[in-house]
Amino acid sequence: MERFLALLGDQGQTRHGIRSIAPSQNHILEINIGIRYNGIRVMKDDASNFLPLAPAALHILLSLAAEDLHGYGIMQDVARQSEGKYKLRSGTLYDNLQKLIQRRWVEELGQRPGDDDPRRRYYRLSSLGRGVLAAETARLATVVREARLRLQVAKPRRA
């Protein structure tokens, strides 16, 4: 951590000219330069650092990849894409949406003009969320490819 703090200049500016907020009395450093500190080393925010995704998060991101949806629309799409095998309940949906919004993978758009239900809030997949979803689908494709290879090898042969 000391090496990380040494990068900061006197006025909360890094040597690279990226502004940050000076440490508070509690010695908490808030910095917005596209990196995060995990207690061991400084890492770039890379989509692979967030993988694997929880099933609920994966299904929500996948639903929003096609179009902006409200909560109930997301629940319906998750049921459709999983052929009814995965049911997303409202508590799980909204807890996960809040986490995805905090991570900036999903944006809350609010109401749409002319919508018949004023309580509906629409959500959109952000470009960061799209990158995370792409990384997760690539990871899953690798897992499936490996599973198919291993299952073919283990398949009993006919005599």
User: What would the pLDDT profile of 122-135 be if each residue is shown by its tens digit?
Assistant: 999 999 999 999 99
Residue 50, domain member (yes or no): no
Q: Which of 5-9, 74-78, 86-90, 102-106 shows the lowest mean pLDDT across its residues?
A: 5-9
pLDDT at 113: 80
Residues 68 and 142 occupy one common structural domain = yes
Residues 15 and 65 occupy one common structural domain = no
Classified as helix, coil or strand, 95 is: helix
Between residues 106 and 31, the one the model is more confident about: 106
φ, ψ of residue 16 to 5 degrees: the values are -90, 5
CA distance 2 to 42: 11
Residue 78 has pLDDT above 80, yes or no: yes
CATH of the domain at 93: 1.10.10.10
Structural domain span for residue 33: 2-45
Residue 12 has pLDDT above 60, yes or no: no
Residue 61 has pLDDT above 90, yes or no: yes
pLDDT at 157: 65
Residue 25 has pLDDT above 80, yes or no: no
DSSP secondary structure letters along 24-91: -TT---EE-SSEEE-SS-EEE--GGGGPSPPHHHHHHHHHHHHS-EEHHHHHHHHHHHTTTSS---HH
Residues 93 and 36 occupy one common structural domain = no
Residues 91 and 116 occupy one common structural domain = yes
Q: What's the total number of domains in the chain? A: 2
DSSP conformational letter for 23: P
- The partner residues of 108 in beta bridges, in order of sequence, read 123
Residue 20, domain member (yes or no): yes
Residues 24 and 71 occupy one common structural domain = no
**Chain mean pLDDT for the chain:** 79
